[in-house]
Each structure stands twice: as C-alpha cells, then as structure tokens.
Structure 1
Amino acid sequence: MATNIKDKIAKLLALAESPNENEAKAALLKARELMAEHKLRPEEVVKADKVKVIREALDITCTAMTNPWAVSLSAIIAEHYCCRAYRTRAAGRKTNRIGLVGLEEDFEIAKRIFLYAYDCVMASIKANIKRDPEDLPGTYREKCNAYGWGFTRGVKQAFQEQEEQHQEWGLVMVVPKAVDDSMVDMGKRTSFGKERVGGWRDAYRAMGYQDGKRFDPASRLAGGTERAAIGG
C-alpha cells in the first residue's frame, strides 16, 4: 500500500476534527471511503495513540417494562453512526443503563443524536399521551411504550430510506474493528426482545412511527440536551 494513501487518509481524519461541522463530516466520510477501498482500518492509518475508543454508560435508564424501546433506539442510532450500544446493570437490579462505544469522533455524534432522540420521545409522550383515571393499572405505561416503539421503528425506516438513496454510504458507515474488539470483554449483546404495543395502534403507528420518520438529527447536532422524564 502506497504511503501517500495512508498519509492522505491521516490528513482527512485530522480535518475531521474541524469545528466546521460540514467540513468535518465530509472529511470523515472521504477518509472512510478510502479506508474501505484499500481495506485499511483506522489503527493502520494513524498511530495507535490516536485511535481512541470511548465506552460510556449514559444517564438513560430503562427496564423490561419501562421504556424498553430505548435499548433498540440506542442500537439503531449507534450503528448508523459507526458505534455500538450496550446496556449494563448492577447484580440483582432490574434497572439498566444504556451505553455507547465508538471511536472518539463518532462517539460524540452518536451520543448527541441518541440523547436528542430519547428526549424527543419523552417530550412527545408528556405532551400527547394522556392518563385516563378509568384505565387499568399499567395502561399509561403501555401507551407510552407503544409510542416509543413506534418512534424507534420510524427512525429505523428513515435511516433505511437514506441508505437506499445513498448506497455509497455502505462503504463508509461501518463500525470500525477497533470498536468491536474493545467489546470482547462484555459478552453477548442482548435486547429486550420484540415490540409489544398491545392495542395502542394509534400511539404506535399514527403518532410514534410518523414522528420517528420525521426525526431530524441535524437540528440538534450542535447543541446540548435537556433530560425529560415521565411517571411510571
């Protein structure tokens, strides 16, 4: 492999740290395109101390009954931005914390977008899902989860449509080997299973799914996020 190719990729990766978001993204995509073309991994292009994998448990919790959709949402968004998602919990506890793993430049983007997406779901739930005093116990939670599952499915569909329109992304939007290698100590990745929306099809299809398809990560890339919460 000619040294000048590696040098060019290294320069593009350096440019990807630019504060100009459009310039940084273009440089990163071009760098990954060249790496895919020449079958190079990031650690083969830059010095080992420049390849930094970040693993962080976020301030987002869920259980198999409360907000289980958050696990799938994190996995979908993480992979789309070249990262991996995981969940962790203390022994004997039912509450899970969601985390992300990725190269430093990818991790920050994936983290911001996931937190923003999660906040969008929670804010919409608070605004649009109403408690009915005549509902059976647990009904409100079921409605909220139906909306969350619908939003998650909508985001996944939107990403798939983007990838179909830009098939060249398949060469560059891949999870780096260094990320997967860093997770070997974490065992098999698990999930909370399939969507369960009960009879709340309106919350799932008419509300959550449509909102997920309209989700626009770019509208919040440059900003922070505010935590939102709902009652169980």
Structure 2
Amino acid sequence: MEKDYREKIKKLLALAESPNEHEAKAALLKAKELMAEHKLSELDVKDVGKKEVKEVLLEGMQASTRHNPWIIPLSTVIGENYCCKAFNNKYSGKQLRTIGFVGFEEDVQICEQVFRYAVNCVESKLKEIKKENGCYSAQYRKKLCDGYGYGFMVGAQEAFEKQKKENEEKGWGLVMVTPQEVTEHIKDFKHENFNKNAGSKLDANAFGIGYTDGKKFDPTKKLEA
C-alpha cells in the first residue's frame, strides 16, 4: 500500500510540471494532501539531489509603512504554514518592499498561490471599506483599512494554529514543518524591524471584522476549485 501511494505521489509531482497551469496546480495540491495523510515527504519520493532551496520575489506584492503594512506579517504567517520562510526586499531609495518566499520549489509555488489569494481577500474588503467611508478623511480610511488587514492576519494565524492541532491529532503534523534546509538558507538574511507601531493605532471595530474573516480563511476550497 505504501508503495502504491509513493507511485501516486511521484506521478502527481510529475504532472505538476505540466504546461497546463490549472492541471499543474491541482496536481501539486493533491500531492501535498497525500504526503500529509500518509506521513511521506517529497524527500521520500524524489531524488534528494534534485531539490533546491529557491528564493522567489513576488511580482506586484509590495508594502510599506504607508501602503498596506499588514502584508508583511501576513506573508510571515502564510510562509510558516506552507513549509517556507517569508522575506522582503527593499531597494535603495525606495519605500516599498517586495515580498518574497524561500523554500523548495513546489512549496514556494503553493505558498505563493495561498498568499496571493489571502491578499486578494483582504483587498476586496478594503475596497468596500474605502467606498463606504468615502466622505471621511484619507487618514481615517487608512486607520480602518489597516485595522481590517491586521485583524485578518491575526485571525488567519489562529485558523492555521487550529488546523495544525487537528493535523497533529491525525499524525500529520511533522510533515508540514519548514525543512531545515530552508531555515538554514534564510538565517543569514538581513532582518529589519518593519513598522513596529503599525498596529498601535488601528480601528478596533475594523480589526474585529478582519479577525472574524481571517478565522474563516480556507484557501483549500478556492485552490482546489
């Protein structure tokens, strides 16, 4: 039985290299599900020598203290729960930081999909908030938007913690831990404090709404669809 599942996972990982984007994504997600369920890692089904730690900067995913500061901690939450590590790159003279992930290639692909989906969920709500509060000052609207964004991040973090506990009870927990190779790769990266006080002046009501929405965040339904 174990051999059968290994063969299935190998085939799915091979299919994940398909030029058909939707087919590739579906194969990757199913492979991850089987690996977790049957306590297997990609190291068990692929040649170790072929696995490389990748650094990937995400096009269009940027943040600063003034522009969507909640994106930075959200990337950390997503990365830690998808076997990757988040980082951000700031070019000299620029305020915006570009978000990136470090991890094995297949993990980074899935991590990026989940992160972009999470950001889209938040930004969709922020459009509503800005529209509903168009008569108020830009400063007040930013307070509302940042409150929602940070609230969503905290709620999503709790949702992942709950999921992690459930997986551990099933015996799947260790499979989804960030590989040691990834942790070693990123340990020498320069880490800067980002917007320490960003969460100190937020709208409490908007934070609460974001927190509730974040706790409901379930990327698997969207990605599998």
Q: TM-score range with shorter-chain normalisation?
A: 0.7 to 0.9
- How many residue pairs match? The answer is 209
CA contact (8 A) 1:60 1:97 kept: yes
> 1:116: which partner in 2?
117
Residue 52 (structure 2) pairs with residue 52 (structure 1): yes
Higher helix fraction: Structure 1 or Structure 2? 2
Q: In 2, are the aligned partners of 1:197 and 1:204 still within 8 Å (CA)?
A: no
Say yes or no: does 1:178 pair with 2:174. no
Amino acid at match of 2:199: R
- Which TM-score applies when normalising by structure 1? 0.77
Alignment partner of 1:220 out of 216, 219, 222: 222
Within-5 A mapping of 1:35-184: 42=43, 46-48=47-49, 50-58=50-58, 59-129=60-130, 130-135=132-137, 137-167=138-168, 168-184=171-187
Contact 2:65 2:194 in 1 (8 A): no
The C-alpha deviation readout for 1:87-113, integer Å capped at 9, x for no partner, is 011012211111111111111111001
CA distance in 2, matches of 1:200, 1:209: 12
CA drift of 1:211 comes to 1.0
Report the 3-state secondary structure (helix = DSSP H, G, I; strand = E; otherwise coil) of the residue aligned with 2:176.
Answer: coil
CA distance in 2, matches of 1:153, 1:215: 11
Q: Which amino acid aligns with 1:171?
A: L
8 Å contact 1:81–1:109 — kept in the other structure? yes
Counterpart of 1:133 in 2: which secondary structure? coil
Residues in 2 aligned to 1:44 and 1:222: alpha-carbon distance in whole angstroms: 23
Shift of 1:57: 0.9
Partner Cα distance (2:166, 2:44) in 1: 30
- RMSD value over aligned CA atoms? 3.0
Normalising by structure 2, report the TM-score: 0.79
Q: Kindly indicate whether residue 10 of structure 2 is the aligned counterpart of residue 14 of structure 1.
A: yes
Which amino acid is the alignment partner of residue 127 of structure 2?
K
Shift of 1:166: 2.3
1:38 aligns with: none
Using the alignment, how far apart are the partners of 1:15 and 1:28 within structure 2? 13
Percent identity, aligned pairs only, is 29
Distance between the aligned counterparts of 1:106 and 1:155, measured in 2?
19
- Offset from partner CA, 1:103-139 (integer Å, 9 cap, x none): 111111110010010011001110234334343x522
C-alpha distance in 1 between matches for 2:193 and 2:43: 27
CA distance in structure 1 between the aligned counterparts of 2:45 and 2:190, rounded to whole angstroms = 26
Deviates more, 1:157-166 or 1:184-193: 184-193
Partner SS, residue 126 of structure 1: helix
